[in-house]
Structure 1
């Protein structure tokens, strides 16, 4: 994407990659990265409203103060004069990247298929697609070899705590 419209502190900004801008004070440390809400992304074809697959990453550069604004009140012939001032608290941010955030998720989705190839023998059919709740329901009906293969797979690859606990309890119930 070549540009995006983001929302930071209730205000909207049109940003590009590498751009620096001053926004209202953010409660973040210098050097901290954050992802503001993306309202629109465009530049490559049609603009997309509220895209779920575009992530803007911004980094806090520094905390700053805005210019001093002098305010004076005066009423003629009464001797009334009042002076006050104001300086806005601002944060300078830099836009690190504008791009798709789904790439990592797509890569992660493709990894279990590669891991299933190295899965131990005796693993029940469709085991990689089971959620922990489905696994908890199905595990008591499996034989001891399938349970031990599934437990070996979970400890070595997936490491889902709920699945490991469900498999261990199914093994103890089958043994007793």
Structure 2
């Protein structure tokens, strides 16, 4: 099951356990967010007008970060005129935990914890 959600003036196609980067939302790491659903897809498709009734997408905030710097450099040749400006957008990283609607609900598996012995076990298994 997948959904199309709207946040920050943009639309995103998401499924359970997806990690997406969206425009900044005021929330602490670990907080849950609920997004408006524009479309639900799967075995059957539900298109909202403008939203799908009774459908919801829940996500958990992983972190607040900043995007890569974008440099705006302008130069007028032979005029000794240059201007350099930089911009870093603030963004929020969200993990989709649940999609529900159309009488169905899909939940993401809990995030796997990293163990120190995992790479050694994989190397031993492949040898």
User: How many residues are aligned here?
Assistant: 102
TM-score relative to the length of structure 2: 0.74
1:14-60 alpha-carbon deviations (Å, 9 max, x no partner)? 10000001000001111100111111111122333232122111111
| Corresponding residue number in structure 2 for 1:37 | 36
RMSD, matched Cα: 1.8
Match of 1:116 in 2: none
Mapped contact 2:39–2:52 kept (Cα < 8 A): yes
For residues 95-116 of structure 1, give each alpha carbon's deviation from its aligned partner in whole angstroms, at most 9, with x where no partner exists: 001013979xxxxxxxxxxxxx
Q: Which runs of 5+ in 2 are unaligned?
A: 105-127
Aligned partner of 1:8 in structure 2 is 7
Higher helix share: 1
Which consecutive residues of structure 1, in runs of 5 or more, have no partner in the other structure?
104-176
In terms of fraction of residues, the more strand-rich structure is 2
Structure possessing the higher relative contact order (Cα contacts under 8 Å, 6 or more residues apart): 2
Matches within 5 A, 1:155-174: none
Contact 2:34 / 2:59 at 8 angstroms: preserved in 1? yes
- Aligned-partner SS, 1:26: coil
Ranges of 4+ aligned residues in structure 1 off by more than 3 Å: 100-103
TM-score (norm 1): 0.54
